[in-house]
A and B are shown apart, each in its own frame.
Chain A
């Protein structure tokens, strides 16, 4: 496997070069090809799980606990079963007969499919009602009578670790507290020394609040067991169909070849559709037992309240530096809320994900981080919401702390970054917490962003407003982030034991077009276009002649799925390598067609044709070669023209960028308005700039939601008070400013096409830029931090604390004074 990767990783023209490929008019690398999938999406022909209808299909409704912590004393199904059309009511007792009462989480914890004994979070799944239609299922669910012995809940991680906190996980043997796990990274002693010796140290507490990825399509499944074939098909909203098939096989005992997972069109995943949820299992189990298709689709509030949340890291950051701003050490301590089960979705050897990338874009010799995670009576989660496993929290920490340090030293935040950046010649760069950065030019991206933002002008304008005691303050925030994406390699990264490689299979058909199947799955990223462009580039085909398929475990090669920006870095590499394998065989066929020796055949990237060295007019196209492969194949080769590659990446990729956000802060209302929003990204070689632009826009919108609006909140009784779109605020077009995007190109040296992945950079990179901007508007008055979400009341409280808030009454009396003084002057 890896020898293939090595053999084909190097293109014959010397490997990845910046923007060397330019599509050649066939829709290859670098062309703004319109998205193939949009034809069906914009004409209403998408096929989502809830669009699937089967003959005799039943519907499932989940009965959920209104309590956050309660022992179930009795469940009375009788009244529900009396409802006409209710076929079955399932509880944990029924599932236990099939050994399905519990299921493993991705972190090897054991979660109840339906509550076995004790409810551990509000909206946990207690029973399931199966009925002939959706409405009847809902009616039936209302008739399931559950007697609860209500227990005291604890919804706060700090409170849950106190001695007198109620014990949540009494299902774990000998468990006496709510402690979930400890983790540390770096060199504690050396870091402590660096802090002692430093000229300056700064510290700041910050909460990366609980968010929900909130895909617009909620989770759902259609379980469809075929007793004739003894085969279980599950259509489900899955970001990772193959690994879900493996887990289904392990949990259910049904052999893996008798299970087919189909992930059809998926309306947004953002990490929320990586875990397996009880609803999927119930729909599949009910179908298996009843031998009829069973559909389960969540409502909005069910999605927000019971499926994987993100973040909830309560962090303390510290930096040690010299007087002139050289960062010597970084230290952090985190209290993580994992909810009722340890169900974070990340590679199993990384209990805190890739959080130890918290040295960021900076050359910092010494670092130490520690983390404690707690169980609480809240839904399990900690999924990677549009990011690579806790990179978002890490980037927020370091980018916020750099601003805190800059303010402490009175330095320009751009200058302090420049002073500490890892320099281009230092790559490949090994960080003090063990990451191996592939490539970067951080100053290049920052300089471009500063220029686009007209930085110096706004700094002057900011000072002018302070001097003139203006009603609206100006704040300028910078974030120069680095991500780590594209997990594997398999030796370090696995999901439930399966190595994190990915795959692509290319079949070139006799008439010269091709079907490409990939192991990753799209939730809106544009895979059907992007992967076609990679193959078009590498085979000299027209992008229109390539169809990309994904999301069906019966036909696609095994892959680990789409999350953590791994599609392009891993499956994209597989597509390039598989293309190059096809190209090798194509040379043999070309030699046969052109009656030349195989070693004399060369491929011309520009024309996409194969020709005899030194005789460019003696050439054949891939279409002619395809015909030859099936109709006139050389005796030295098998007929046909296809290849598959399972790509185990040698390293991860490190996309980066610099974002500059300029805000106006209203001293009277605490409202924040975006004046300018500049995003410069470097994702290595770019496949489809238009899709990248769309990705950046969407991610920035989510970053604004994070910084300004979103927070899953609870009351003391464990009720979710931010559990629907009335109370959990997503940004709309009204809150989104105009974005100015730019890019630099620093290819990944180890990736076959030099690409790095980009879909998550804006969600990861933008929140600290926005918070830094709001803080910057008040930092002259001593404010060092504002917690997210920065709602007007939060910001106003900070303005008030800094003595910057104005009262509406003051501004009215001020006008009076102005008028009277004018009058006096006139007199």
Chain B
């Protein structure tokens, strides 16, 4: 299955959008059903891991913390996602590897796979942020190619597509809000973070 789309943020310049989309906590907060996204090492266990509660994001968060936790190229991340599709609500234990992070052209790509009871998926995703020609804002393009197996896939695209679209739609409207918040309150912080990345 392939999903793709784009959206525009008229008042958020690409640099700021990049900083927000580089923050696993900000991404987690916008992704409905996502319980955490955290770097994964060899000892990581989905059963044992307990995410920190109430972690601040920009603009309240300490810029150094945000810079420190930002996505890193070649790093593998663990994510726990619970998605309700039709009559099933699998809890996906997912690992995602950031394949590419291009700070100049604002490109990020990732591959990942997740398993849940009776379902599994693998995906290749990417995004790129462009400047808008007639304003300071950004245009963000994203794409995902997913192979889905098991119970969820059996429900067919008729059921999956609306759910996927809803998650993606929620994600971008929420992340847009976060970016706007950042934009409204401070203009120096994101530049500082970019410098630290």
Contact = CB atoms under 8 A, between A and B. Distances in A.
Contact of B154 (A79, A150, A724): A724
Interface in A174-198: none
Interface string B149-167: 1110111100000000000
A92 to B, nearest CB: 19
B160 to A, nearest CB: 11
A141 B148 contact: no
Contacts of B120: 66-67, 148
B95 to A, nearest CB: 12
A64 B118 contact: yes
B86 interface: yes
A240 B147 CA distance: 41
B47 interface: yes
Q: Which of B87, B147, B148, B150 has the most CB of A within 10 A?
A: B150
Interface in B125-162: 147-151, 153-156
Given A142-B117, A301-B154, A724-B154, A719 B47 contact: no
Interface in A696-753: 715, 717-721, 723-724, 726-727
B119 interface: yes
Contacts of A724: 154
A717 B117 contact: no
Contact of B149 (A141, A719, A726): A719
Contacts, number: 51
A66 B147 contact: no
A723 B153 CA distance: 11
A122 to B, nearest CB: 7
B134 to A, nearest CB: 42
A583 B47 CA distance: 72
Given A719-B148, A721-B156, A724-B154, A66 B86 contact: no
A521 to B, nearest CB: 32
Contacts of A721: 153-154, 156
B47 A79 contact: yes
Nearest to B87: A726
A141 B150 CA distance: 15
A66 B156 contact: no
A719 B153 contact: yes
A724 to B, nearest CB: 7
A141 B154 contact: no
Contacts of A142: 116-117
A79 B47 CA distance: 8
Interface residues of B, number: 19
Nearest to B46: A79
B150 A66 contact: yes
Contact of A717 (B86, B148, B155): B148
For the complex, would chain A's binding face be called helix, strand, loop or mixed by DSSP majority?
A: loop
A717 B47 contact: no
A358 to B, nearest CB: 35
A72 to B, nearest CB: 13
A717 B149 contact: yes
Contacts of B153: 66, 715, 717, 719, 721
B154 A727 contact: yes
Contacts of B151: 66, 301
B154 A720 contact: yes
A718 B119 CA distance: 13
Contacts of B115: 66, 145
Interface residues of A, number: 24
Contact of A719 (B86, B116, B150): B150
Nearest to A68: B149
Contacts of A150: 122, 149
Contacts of A301: 151, 154
Nearest to A145: B115
A122 B47 contact: no
A719 B120 CA distance: 11
B90 to A, nearest CB: 9
A727 B154 CA distance: 9
A68 B148 CA distance: 11
Q: Which of A66, A79, A719 has the most CB of B within 10 A?
A: A66
A122 B150 contact: yes
A724 B118 CA distance: 14
A68 B115 CA distance: 15
Q: Which of B86, B122, B154 has the most CB of A within 10 A?
A: B154
Interface in A48-73: 64, 66-68
Contacts of A717: 147-149, 153
B118 A723 contact: no
Contacts of A727: 154-156
B159 to A, nearest CB: 8
Given A66-B119, A141-B117, A723 B149 contact: no
A148 B150 CA distance: 13
A141 B155 CA distance: 21
B149 A66 contact: yes
Contacts of A68: 149
Contact of B86 (A67, A715, A726): A726
A727 B156 CA distance: 9
A722 B116 CA distance: 21
Interface in B105-129: 115-120, 122
Contacts of B86: 726
B15 to A, nearest CB: 39
A532 to B, nearest CB: 44
Interface in A201-254: none
B154 A723 contact: yes
Given A79-B47, A301-B154, A727-B154, A122 B117 contact: no
A717 B118 CA distance: 15
A122 B47 CA distance: 27
Given A66-B150, A724-B154, A726-B86, 16 more contacts: A66-B115, A66-B119, A66-B120, A66-B149, A66-B151, A67-B120, A67-B149, A67-B150, A79-B47, A82-B47, A141-B117, A150-B122, A301-B154, A305-B154, A719-B148, A727-B154
13 contacts: A66-B119, A66-B149, A67-B150, A82-B47, A122-B150, A142-B117, A301-B154, A717-B149, A718-B149, A719-B148, A721-B156, A723-B154, A726-B87
The 7 nearest A-B residue pairs measured at CB? A66-B150, A142-B117, A719-B153, A66-B149, A66-B120, A721-B156, A67-B149
Interface of B: 47, 86-87, 115-120, 122, 147-151, 153-156
